[in-house]
Each structure stands twice: as C-alpha cells, then as structure tokens.
C-alpha cells in the first residue's frame, strides 16, 4: 500500500485594522509509492548514434524479439519506490468589514514529482502510458498533479434591506498556470517495446539536418530550418537541445475561471416571537 510522510506548518496573524494574514507550508515525502515494470524484456539494449557516448546513454533500444520467455507476451510486476515528493506554500489575506463586505486573496506555489502516477486501471496501461526513456527504470519527473502557480480570490457582500429582504453577492475567481504535459511521441516508441508513449530527442542545431530527408517540395535544409524555428520559439524545447524531453515538463497556458452567485432571501412571518416559525424563500442566480 502507498505510504507517505507529511508535515505542515501554518501561521495566522490579525492586525489592528482587522486584516487576517495566513501562511501555510505542506511537505509530503514518498515512503512507498507504486512502480510498474515489464519483466519479460531481454535487458540487452543498443543506443542510437546521437545517444551512444558512454556517459550519455539514456534511451535504450531493446531487441526486436525481446521476450525472456516466449510463452508469455507481457509480464508485469508492481513494486514500491521511495522516490517522490510534493510541497506547497500558500499565502492568504482576508478581511470582513462591518458593512457586510468581505474578501480573501490567496496565492499558492507548489511542485509534485513522482516516477509513476498509478492512476490507470491496469498494470499494463500504467506501464505503457508512463513517458520514460527506459520504461523499466522511470526517473523522477513532474507529476500529473503538479500545481505550480495558483491564485484564488473571492469577494462577498451581504445587505439586509430590512427584516424581510436580504441580498447576498459572491464572486469567486481562480487562475492557475496551466496543466502539465509531455513533448514526445504517441503510439510510437523508439525503445522497440510495447510502450505507447515516449520522450523525444531534441537535436542540437548543427545536427538537426541529419534527421531530415529531401521531399518533392522541400529540401532537408528547409525542413531543418523550419524545425529549428519551432524549437527556438519554445522556451522549454530550446533548453533541451542535444538532450531528451522530460515527462510533464511542458505546461498549457494559464487558465482562469470565475463564478458569480446572487441570492435574494424573502423572510416571512418575521414578527413571530418564535424564530423557528420564520420561513424563508430564496431565489438565486449562478453565472
């Protein structure tokens, strides 16, 4: 069973003007997490030309007929790993005013890393869909649940016009620095294994042309130039020149959402001596 060690520390402070400040830090260290391996692979790989230096062998290419036991197509083993951690730091300021107005604003920064997220419904899919240079030896990388930057704010206002009519307004806004994703291949893997996804090698500029062949409409140099322009236009990809991409190192653009809630309360029988006899009808609008 998965096991983690988690610790947290929080501090609250309220100043003389009624503003409340909160700072909270949470750290989680993996003790036992799941890891999946295909143990029917012959461990006798070769390496591509660009990955053949002794100190630069990252992407193994397994033999074509690579089953240790030909009576079985695939044999998977689930074991444990102690690699992995996640942490988050949140700062928040809030205030409730006597006028009925209130607000809060919070910012969170966090990171999460693991070797396999274990979210899929079988050993095979967890192994096949875990982007790694060597699927039997996945390295620590950003988790699917990596937060990074998140901003959350809300504004609320309550106005009692009289004993009968009470209006409430609430606005919630959330913005997050996108979701993690991986630059690589889908339904293809250079490892020559049943894995369905893999990472990609980003060539150095001087070797880009070696990966292209002329076509009827473009020369190899023209294709290489277009590829280099695409890589240079991406901050992350150009940082991986001469190396491989990493799992979940890309991020989608910031996404934001907003929700507005309005509620109008109509209190009936407000003159009753027993508060339990007061009845309320509420009309609400959500956008």
- Domain end marker among 211, 228, 244: 244
What is the per-residue pLDDT for 275?
Answer: 73
- Over residues 166-223, the pLDDT tens digits come to 999 999 999 999 999 999 988 888 888 888 888 999 998 888 998 999 999 999 999 9
| Residue 62: predicted pLDDT | 81
DSSP string, 170-186: EEEEEEE---EE--EEE
Calpha distance 237→242 (Å, rounded):
10
pTM: 0.83
Question: In the chain, how many domains are there?
Answer: 2
Are residue 30 and residue 146 in the same domain, yes or no? yes
Distance, CA of 173 to CA of 152 (rounded, Å): 6
Domain shared by 129 and 221, yes or no = no
C-alpha separations of 267 from 159, 277, 282 in Å: 14, 10, 9
Q: Does 112 share its domain with 220? A: no
Tell me the pLDDT tens digit for each residue of 108-140.
999 999 998 788 888 888 998 999 988 888 999
Tokens of 178: 């996108």
The residue ranking higher by pLDDT, 257 or 39, is: 257
51-90 residue pLDDT tens: 655 566 678 888 766 677 778 878 889 999 999 999 999 9
Quote the percentage of the chain above a pLDDT of 70: 96
Do 163 and 43 sit in the same domain of this protein? yes
If asked whether residues 181 and 230 sit together in one domain, one would say: no
By residue range, what is the domain housing residue 279?
A: 3-200+246-286
pLDDT reported for residue 24: 98
Give pLDDT, residue 195.
83
Please answer whether residues 107 and 213 qualify as being in contact, where contact means their C-beta atoms are separated by less than 8 angstroms.
Answer: no
């Amino acid at each position: 069973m998965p096991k983690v060690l988690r610790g947290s520390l929080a501090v609250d402070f309220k100043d003389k003007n009624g503003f409340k400040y909160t700072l909270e830090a949470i750290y989680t260290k993996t003790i036992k997490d799941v890891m999946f391996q295909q143990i029917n692979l012959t461990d006798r790989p070769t390496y591509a030309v660009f990955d053949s230096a002794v100190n630069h062998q990252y992407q193994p290419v397994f033999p074509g007929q690579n089953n240790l036991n030909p009576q079985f197509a695939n044999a998977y083993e689930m074991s444990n790993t102690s690699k992995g951690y996640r942490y988050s730091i949140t700062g928040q300021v809030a205030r409730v005013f006597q006028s009925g107005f209130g607000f809060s604003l919070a910012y969170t920064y966090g990171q999460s890393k693991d070797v396999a997220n274990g979210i899929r419904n079988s050993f095979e899919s967890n192994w096949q869909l875990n982007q790694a240079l060597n699927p039997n030896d996945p390295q620590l990388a950003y988790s699917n649940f990596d937060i990074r930057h998140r901003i959350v704010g809300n504004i609320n206002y309550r106005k009692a016009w009289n004993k009968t009519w009470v209006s409430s307004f609430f606005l919630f806004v959330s913005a997050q620095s996108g979701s993690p994703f991986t630059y690589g291949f889908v339904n293809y893997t250079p490892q020559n294994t049943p894995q369905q996804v893999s990472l990609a090698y980003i060539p150095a500029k001087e070797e880009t042309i070696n990966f292209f062949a002329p076509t009827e409409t473009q020369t190899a140099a023209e294709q290489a130039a277009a590829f280099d322009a695409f890589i240079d236009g991406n901050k992350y990809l150009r940082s991986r020149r001469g190396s491989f991409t990493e799992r979940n190192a890309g991020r989608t653009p910031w996404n934001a959402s907003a929700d507005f809630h309005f509620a109008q309360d109509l209190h009936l029988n407000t003159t009753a001596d027993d508060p339990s006899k007061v009845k309320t009808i509420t009309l609400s609008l959500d956008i």
